[in-house]
Structure 1
């Protein structure tokens, strides 16, 4: 419990229009300073000053990633409850709040369009491009090892790309579904599955931030080199968990934190890797336990990237986001 002075300082930090608007936006998911300045139509120094006050009060947390920084609501249970309660008290029909949410939606749509344009351009050479940065053979061996000898009723591959995971694990599942938002990518994936004579896997055009009910319940969900294309990976995990059976598992493959800014500017990456602390926080909030972790450094040294593999299990104990479902 907070003392009087501490609580007053927290309330002072939240008790300003712009800072309340910031809390409302961050309750919808992590955002960068660039995103927030665009939505609020305020200068970067002004927005950063408000964010600093909220962070000092413990209401939000900051994650630095290269030249960018991302902010989200606090991981501290008491401060997080208070922040979300303040947001819940806001009238969502308030013109300023409604306009902020509309601007947020437009920012997200712009990011998706940027990513879609990139994937349309590289779809045909995607597997070769990915091999330039990733120790793919070792990672795929680890994925096979993680699945083991299990027979899966349903495998769900989110952000399936060229369908490589459906191809790799074809002998492990009765039915496989790959979901991707890029028409060019799914065209490649379908062609590859036909060429490999894999008839028990299907490709669906869809947004993995809005998983349809027909997608689950899955025994295993794969999210392979996908989360770094999203500002809020925690939201992806939270959505994906809804399509996972109780006791089901996720396998997440992504980069460890790095400082290669060109991947953001040239390859549409939104996050410069994911840390172990971030993954544990996002997983806990989504009702998942991190049950395994391995890393795979790039020994060639050309890009100095490390790939990580996390295994997550659905505990059925949905975390803090459940209050807003």
Structure 2
């Protein structure tokens, strides 16, 4: 009698044993692609590729990530069989090399279109530059707060994916989430151009309702995100939910600044945060604050690190004196 695990392995091998499906796996192992992208790269019709993608998803060799009216496909982090199969494909294969070149051209064109759209609509997507903040000092402070290896990282409000690029050499898996499809287009292009798509990915998500399991990440970051939040406490609680016990939460944002014009000009909801506010939200979220760090500049920036408690605050016994 064949075991269930052997049945699953045979199903995966059958799903992969077809030229077009191997090409799809080779592409999606390098990053996330939507159906129209894959049609353009492989030169095949959407109905044909959709059938192939459906088989690969059902076999667990690809995962489907909905994004508005679209969906992106990528190789799941746990799909070790895919990487074993792809490792046996010759790197110099003419068809696979042509697919990679076409995918690179497509990524460059998507980045140009997304950047043009931002310029046309006057969107100031690089907020640190717009506010005159010391980007290099901020990035240095973030990296200094992290160990040399960080395992699984979640960047909430990833924007153009700059932080994912910085963390890529240290991370086993890095995921960025953002509500803006235009931002995600730029982030995908950045990751593809730098060859980081194999272990860095982005997806559309609401920071108050992350489509992610509990305790799935070692590190979570919110960089220049919280001052846009209607409910910062809820955003921090959701970030803490997806952290493993003893996982690290890094919150980087503006200190109190009194610059009321920023609320109108840049749509900020909060004029910066003080240590007491952040600590008051982190505690109920199940996190223990660590000493904050100040980055000086035209506007003071604070980095608030915190550790996810192994036991939630509500579960701790009351102290008696």
| Structure 1 unpaired stretches of 5+ | 1-117, 299-303
Cα displacement (A) at 1:231:
2.5
Cα displacement (A) at 1:166:
0.2
Is the partner of 1:316 in helix, strand or coil? coil
Cα displacement (A) at 1:152:
2.4
Residues 288/215 of structure 1: CA separation in 2 closer, same or farther (3 Å cut): closer
In structure 1, the residue matched to 2:173 is 175
Aligned partners of 1:297 and 1:305 also within 8 Å: yes
Distance 2:258 2:160 in 1: 27
Distance 2:196 2:213 in 1: 21
In structure 2, the residue matched to 1:198 is 196
Is the partner of 2:219 in helix, strand or coil? strand
In structure 2, the residue matched to 1:250 is 249
Residues 181/160 of structure 1: CA separation in 2 closer, same or farther (3 Å cut): same
In structure 2, the residue matched to 1:10 is none
Aligned partners of 2:214 and 2:241 also within 8 Å: no
The aligned runs of 1:95-106 (5 Å cut-off) are: none
Aligned partners of 1:215 and 1:243 also within 8 Å: yes
Distance 1:126 1:308 in 2: 21
Cα displacement (A) at 1:132:
3.7
Is the partner of 1:171 in helix, strand or coil? coil
Aligned CA RMSD, in angstroms, stands at: 2.5
* Length-normalised TM-score, structure 2: 0.58
The alignment of Structure 1 onto Structure 2 pairs a total of residues equal to: 198
Cα displacement (A) at 1:145:
1.0
Distance 1:227 1:119 in 2: 25
Residues 135/215 of structure 1: CA separation in 2 closer, same or farther (3 Å cut): farther
Aligned partners of 1:156 and 1:221 also within 8 Å: yes
In structure 2, the residue matched to 1:318 is 312
| Structure 2 unpaired stretches of 5+ | 1-117, 317-321
Larger Rg over CA atoms:
2
Residues 282/131 of structure 1: CA separation in 2 closer, same or farther (3 Å cut): same
Distance 2:154 2:217 in 1: 6
Distance 1:119 1:217 in 2: 36
Distance 2:273 2:173 in 1: 30
Aligned partners of 1:135 and 1:307 also within 8 Å: no
In structure 1, the residue matched to 2:275 is 276
Residues 138/238 of structure 1: CA separation in 2 closer, same or farther (3 Å cut): same
Distance 2:244 2:200 in 1: 19
In structure 2, the residue matched to 1:161 is 159
Distance 2:119 2:233 in 1: 22
Is the partner of 1:285 in helix, strand or coil? coil
Task: List per-residue Cα deviations over 1:150-191 (Å, max 9, x = no partner).
Answer: x22210000000011101111111111100000111001111
Is the partner of 1:192 in helix, strand or coil? helix
Residues 277/321 of structure 1: CA separation in 2 closer, same or farther (3 Å cut): farther
Aligned partners of 1:156 and 1:215 also within 8 Å: no
Instruction: Indicate the structure with greater helix content.
Output: 1
Distance 1:318 1:144 in 2: 27
